Structure 1
């Protein structure tokens, strides 16, 4: 039986619709939005996996600091319950040795940063981790910037710190040019009504190092980062303050499990200002614990875990080269 062209077209369309389940089924088959990604958020550009940690003892790398005295050397530390040891490695993760911090204890070393001190350049180690916000006080250790040829540091200076209103869960720390210390809270922190608060900023003035007493951190402000409860993508895990840029400004990188936020920063006090950019961390990575600026304006990210990966990239429009 012959059929008209119009009838043939209708029959073909009906057959195609039956095979695909119709328009409704077709839309439902589209990939769901990953809760770890933010629509429109650009990834880190020129992203390169540079290597992985070769030292099997470095299993809980909870921060990274790029050496100034030895270009190409990076320092990290294991966190809670591990030895008071610093681990040196190159950008590919190859071990360059370890240095013991003589006389220090590692309750929960969650942060590490290079910064100025009275003797020149020092490494600041933040024994500030407190997952359950239960520690009566936390501590920051300070030693002269180590070198890979050493086996032990000098005896460190230490500063005991409390927060107003009680303990806080903190993993991000940076040191300002005036040697004040900055901290940003990590986890969800709902208010009395259940509304989630933004990450809170605290500061310890430089003068606290010269007083033989427990320092109380001063609440300063909040960051435009709200750690959530359904997924940990915006839990704040690390921070890094850049060197001085052309024009005298600095940049502050704040790392979360899902993104790198970049802020303008006061060149003297280290206080974060306007948000410049936000970029997604490498796809599939959910344990980024360390970030540091590189001399060429890019960022290095390190993950936590045995043989964890290292990455290098830049956040468009907000790195030190202005790309």
Structure 2
């Protein structure tokens, strides 16, 4: 990709963030100018960013999107994280962004809300993503909910909630349930630094958790190795940086061989071989997948069998968010 086109993509992602973060457009414009000037002074990092962007080609693993449904509940007005259920066929887990009750939604793939689950003892300070995968009991699947958002980075201790994935049996329980078996995994970043992050991943092969920052220019990849602490505060390990800007969500496939991350304007995929781990993406060039840019799309989840992935946006302009499915077309 041409250097100026790449800089244009960087600026477009910056504009999306600034407009979404600041209502005062004059202030946003001023910040954008500062950001571009700062970027121009960081030639080494800029060159790495542009070098990686230039090498990214289109990936044909997944096809163009199919609209399979729309979110039908007004309660789900700010969906920021999803996970495709492993225990309940044809359902998707979802949660709202900051300020909502500490609850999870279970929706069918047409967008109908079938059950809400309140997490006992949890708090939704700024839930930004969720993941699904293994945990302490090898016979169970677990949900992980990441309270890792920090728009004006200041939080020293952050939380990830872990709970066994509930089994949904239609017509047998109330529309709202409370889940008691919720563990809090607390952590801090190295040197007590604070970061804004919106992406949580779990390695299904090791049970390690990964957090990807959102607006660091070159996004940082942190690891919380298994077993994560439940009685004290862990310190996340910085494993490297990804020369892409503005990561908003992502997922790792159930076999651990694909990692998909998204920004506001693009979806990227890394293919891993048997010797590679999620940390390998800091040194690998991804491919670019088809993506129908959403109004405020932050949530992405891969189907358990790897047959496709889903994306959902937040409510914008009073329109119900569409559930998009990107089917797999190559092995």
User: Could you say which TM-score interval applies, normalised by the shorter chain?
Assistant: 0.7 to 0.9
SS of the residue corresponding to residue 228 of structure 2 reads helix
1:185 aligned partner: 213
Q: Residue 160 of structure 1: which of 172, 186, 193 is its match?
A: 186
Deviates more, 1:69-78 or 1:289-298: 289-298
Q: How much is the aligned-residue C-alpha RMSD, in angstroms?
A: 2.5
Aligned runs of 1:167-246 on 2, under 5 Å? Answer: 167-177=194-204, 178-187=206-215, 189=216, 197-209=217-229, 212-225=231-244, 227=245, 235-244=246-255
Q: CA offset at residue 106 of structure 1?
A: 0.8
* Matched-pair contact (CA < 8 Å) for 1:291–1:302: yes
Q: CA offset at residue 297 of structure 1?
A: 2.3
2:35 aligned partner: none
Mind listing any 5+ residue stretches in structure 1 that lack a counterpart? 1-32, 190-196, 228-234
CA distance in 1, matches of 2:273, 2:224: 16
Q: Give the helix-richer structure, 1 or 2.
A: 2
1:286 aligned partner: 295
CA distance in 2, matches of 1:309, 1:289: 13
CA distance in 2, matches of 1:77, 1:185: 19
Scaled by the length of structure 1, the TM-score of the pair is 0.75
* Change over 3 Å in CA distance of 1:58–1:272 after alignment to 2: farther
CA distance in 1, matches of 2:142, 2:64: 31
Mind listing any 5+ residue stretches in structure 2 that lack a counterpart? 1-7, 14-52
CA distance in 2, matches of 1:164, 1:117: 24
Q: CA offset at residue 146 of structure 1?
A: 1.9
* Matched-pair contact (CA < 8 Å) for 1:264–1:272: no
Aligned runs of 1:65-214 on 2, under 5 Å? Answer: 65-119=83-137, 120-149=140-169, 151-165=177-191, 166-177=193-204, 178-187=206-215, 189=216, 197-209=217-229, 212-214=231-233
CA distance in 2, matches of 1:66, 1:109: 17
1:309 equivalent in alignment to 2:318: no
Count of aligned pairs between the two proteins: 264
CA distance in 1, matches of 2:273, 2:180: 31
2:309 aligned partner: 299
Q: CA offset at residue 272 of structure 1?
A: 4.1
SS of the residue corresponding to residue 117 of structure 1 reads coil
SS of the residue corresponding to residue 271 of structure 1 reads helix
CA distance in 2, matches of 1:203, 1:94: 35
1:253 equivalent in alignment to 2:260: yes
CA distance in 1, matches of 2:188, 2:273: 25
Q: CA offset at residue 42 of structure 1?
A: 5.2
* Change over 3 Å in CA distance of 1:208–1:47 after alignment to 2: closer
Deviations 1:172-193 (A, max 9, x none): 0111122211011001x3xxxx
